[in-house]
């Protein structure tokens, strides 16, 4: 009769129990990092009049839904949509859309890097 002895199962079990929390934590950190890049990119390229709109660009995290939002959350800055989308008398200057497009290319790589670094 053959026998197999597996050592370290306690460590493996603990690691497997931690995995979802670690993966979620690393994924949120990656999302936050990319959101900060989007915020900076948008801030740098947003149309400027007084600068108040740019200063209103902020980041919110929703850990319950594992989401990060970049936006202007102050209703008083509603007018920032006009340069982004354009009007009948003003061409669109889509700084946010362009910032998101650049970030989408980095997001998967950032998540993969953080998770693989965690489990080396």
Query: Quick one: which H or E segment has residue 42?
Result: helix 9-45
Distance CA 85, CA 95 (A): 10
- Give tens-digit pLDDT for 82-98: 988 999 999 999 998 89
pLDDT, mean over the chain: 81
Mean pLDDT to the nearest integer, 64-81 = 87
Q: What was the pLDDT predicted at 116?
A: 81
Mean pLDDT to the nearest integer, 28-34 = 87
**CA dihedral of residues 35, 39, 40, 41 (deg, nearest 10):** 90
Q: What was the pLDDT predicted at 24?
A: 77
User: pTM, whole model, 2 decimals?
Assistant: 0.73
What are the residue ranges of helices labelled H in 46-80?
52-55
Q: Which of 47, 55, 95 is nearest to 72 (CA)?
A: 55
């Amino acid at each position: 009769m053959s026998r197999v002895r597996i050592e370290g199962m306690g460590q493996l079990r603990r690691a497997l129990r931690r995995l979802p929390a670690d993966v979620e934590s690393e994924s949120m950190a990656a999302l936050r990092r990319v959101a900060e890049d989007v915020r900076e990119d948008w801030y740098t390229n947003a149309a400027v009049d007084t600068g108040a709109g740019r200063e209103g660009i902020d980041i919110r995290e929703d850990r319950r839904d594992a989401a990060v939002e970049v936006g202007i959350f102050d209703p008083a800055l509603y007018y920032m949509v006009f340069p982004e989308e354009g009007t009948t008398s003003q061409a669109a200057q889509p700084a946010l859309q362009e910032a998101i497009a650049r970030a989408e290319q980095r997001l998967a790589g950032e998540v993969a890097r953080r998770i693989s670094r965690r489990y080396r």
